[in-house]
Each structure stands twice: as C-alpha cells, then as structure tokens.
Homo-oligomer: A and B are copies of this chain.
Amino acid sequence: MTASNAKLKSYWQVNGEFGASLPMADRGLAYGDGLFETMRFQKGLCALADQHWARLLKGCERLSITLDKNRLLADLQSFLNNIQKQEPNLHGIVKLIVTRGAGGKGYLPPENSKTTLIWQWLPAAAPSTEAQNGVSLCVSDVRLAKQKLLAGLKHLNRLEYVLAADRAPAGQLPLLLDADEYVIETLSHNVFLVREGEVITPHLMHCGVEGVLKQFAQQKIVPSLNINMREACVSLNEIMAADEVFIGNSVRGFWPVTQLAANKKIVNWSIGNICRQFQKSHQLYLQSVHG
C-alpha cells in the first residue's frame, strides 16, 4: 500500500468482532437479504442518526428482520472505540450493512436467525464544488421496476442502480425514472423541485429510496422556512418546467441542479433561493450538533 492510498484504508467489524470476515453462508451475499445505511460522522456523532435508525428499523420490520436497537447502538459504540485508535477525530463515513444472517431453506428465511451487523469505516468524502456551483443531470435509460413491497427501503438489491451507473455517460449524474416514466431520484439523491414557491418531491410508493435528508427536510427544514412541501407524481416535463431543481442526500447535503438534458432538450437553471435556504438550514443544524 502506498502512502496516497493508505489514506483510503477502510476498517470493518462483523457481529462485534473488529476485522472479522463474513460467514460465507450469509443471506446478504446469497440473496441481497438485508439493508444498509451510509452515515456521515463528525467528532464521533452522526447528526441525522435518528432518521437513519428510523429508516433502518422500518426496513427491518417490512422484511421481518429482527433488529434490537440496543444491540445496534452498543455494537456501533464498540466499533467507534476500535476506530478511534486509528482515526482519533472520528471524522468519516460509517456504512452499516444489516442482513438476515445465515440459515433457512433456500429463499425461505430461518425461524430464528441471528441478524448480521457489518460496520465499515471509510474516509470522509473529499470536498466538492457541487454544493456551491451545482450539478448537471442526464436521464438514465434504466427504468426502475415498480415493487411496492420494497419501495422506499435502502435494501441490498441494487443491480438496477449498478446498471444505471454503468450505462451513464462518464462524469454525468443519472436521473432515474420508473417504468411509467415518472421521475424517482438520482443514483443516490432524492429530488426536489420548486413551482410557484412550493417544493415538490417525487412520491416513492413504487420504487426509490426514502432519503434521510428528505426526512430531515420534511421534519425540520420545511416547518422552519414557512414553505409548503408535498410528495407527488412528477413527470419529466414537470421537472423541466420547474422554477428551481435540487437534489440531496445525508452525506453530501443539498446540491442545486443547473442543467438537465432530456427529451432532446436542455434546460439550464441559475441557482435558486429555496435551495440556498435548504442548504443553510442543514448547515446550521450540523453546526448545532458538531459545534
């Protein structure tokens, strides 16, 4: 390992054992039978932890995966204690994979499996200019299949997203539509558009991931800004006619969208006021948590 990629070293903990490997019979590998969360930590704290745990526990409930929140939090604390020996300021990304564990009869889950908890520590995301300058989107040619039993969950069945990433032009961020041509999300951000002062975000009843930053916006940002936000079916034409478009996830925050190429048209936006208000509100909250 050279000095430059030594910085990119990541660390793992599986079922409470630092540096352990995955039991080969784990259903996470065999079937994608699990969920994940990607969390931004500063000084050992994740500002949106409540939203991450809420999504994860809801996902476990929908997939009938047993997860005890006390075990989860104790396991995270032991992981952070191990990480702190390597990364004293605990500033980085924690990825958590929760699987149903091993066992069962083929697809049929075992009656009593031991849920697998896998923690990974990754370096903090490199600073980027997108939050300031905005980002361009293209429309993916992958259409997300509609499956209401899995919609909204951050589950491990992500081949559609791998294909969408692989098929996108280099350096472009793909916007994903569903099989009915409605706008859902980008590869890893929820989408927000502004029309006549109101914020609209695609509903995710059939596919897509309910983002933690979207939850935070609904719970904390919107009430503080005297703005209305609602979920709706959003067509490509509606997004292209919007006054303002932005995207967001919990690791990167909100990014303004300055260009969208679709339907043989290109629409350019200057950076809008509501995006800047969302960014500021999110930043103030992060500062209130991390100091």
Contact = CB atoms under 8 A, between A and B. Distances in A.
Q: How many copies of this chain does the complex contain?
A: 2
B188 A107 contact: yes
A207 B166 CA distance: 21
Contacts of A22: 21-22, 24, 29
Interface residues of A, number: 49
Nearest to A166: B109
A232 interface: no
A30 B156 contact: yes
Contacts of A145: 145-147, 207
Give the residue among A64, A156, A207 with the most B Cβ atoms within 10 A.
A156
Interface string A271-283: 0000000000000
Interface of A: 10, 12, 14, 21-22, 24-33, 36, 63-64, 97, 100, 106-109, 118, 120, 142-143, 145-147, 149-150, 155-166, 179, 187-188, 207
21 contacts: A14-B24, A21-B22, A21-B24, A22-B24, A24-B118, A24-B120, A26-B29, A31-B32, A32-B157, A64-B166, A107-B162, A107-B165, A109-B162, A109-B166, A145-B145, A145-B147, A145-B207, A146-B146, A149-B160, A157-B157, A157-B159
